[in-house]
Amino acid sequence: MDISLPIRNEFGTGVVNSSLEMALENYLKPDLLEGANQYECSKCETKVDAMKGLKLTAAPQIVSVSLNRFTLDYETFQRVKVTDRVSFPEVLNLNDYMQGYEGIKDKLYDKEVERAQQFQQAEVNKNLEKEQ
């Protein structure tokens, strides 16, 4: 099984994954389809709010993980390489990821969330400085 894990989220939603575990968690995090993105249910023949995501149902023999270190610079619309530090554990227990996002969302390390928020704030400050 090959997994390509984004280090930063595609649409500039501010997620900065500083570890492999965090990148996996955000990869498995479902998207809520609502508003203009509502899901067309074939049974009800109407648009409904829905969760869209993926779940690992069986642990593969071999997992190959690549870190997607590219993101889009919204000022230049150029692909830029993300050089953020990403830590990874010596042993990755896939069992933690087999129950879908519900099973892992509480495992996000407070420290990492805090780090991501600090980074986001720094980015916001940088952008504010640019605008002035």
The residues of the shown chain that bind Zn ion, judged by CB under 5 A, are 41, 43-44
Residue 47 CB, nearest distance to Zn ion (Å)? 10
Q: Quick one: 44 or 62, whose CB is closer to Zn ion?
A: 44
Q: Specify the residue, 43 or 85, whose C-beta has the smaller distance to Zn ion.
A: 43
Q: How far is the CB of 46 from Zn ion (least distance, A)?
A: 7
Listed residue (56, 42, 39, 132) closest to 93, CA to CA: 56
Neighbour count for residue 121 (Cβ, 10 Å): 11
As to burial, measured by CB atoms within 10 angstroms (0-12 exposed, 13-18 middle, 19+ buried), residue 21 is buried
Nearer to Zn ion, 49 or 114 (CB): 49
Question: Token pair 């780090």 is at which residue?
Answer: 115
Smallest separation, CB 37 to Zn ion (Å):
16
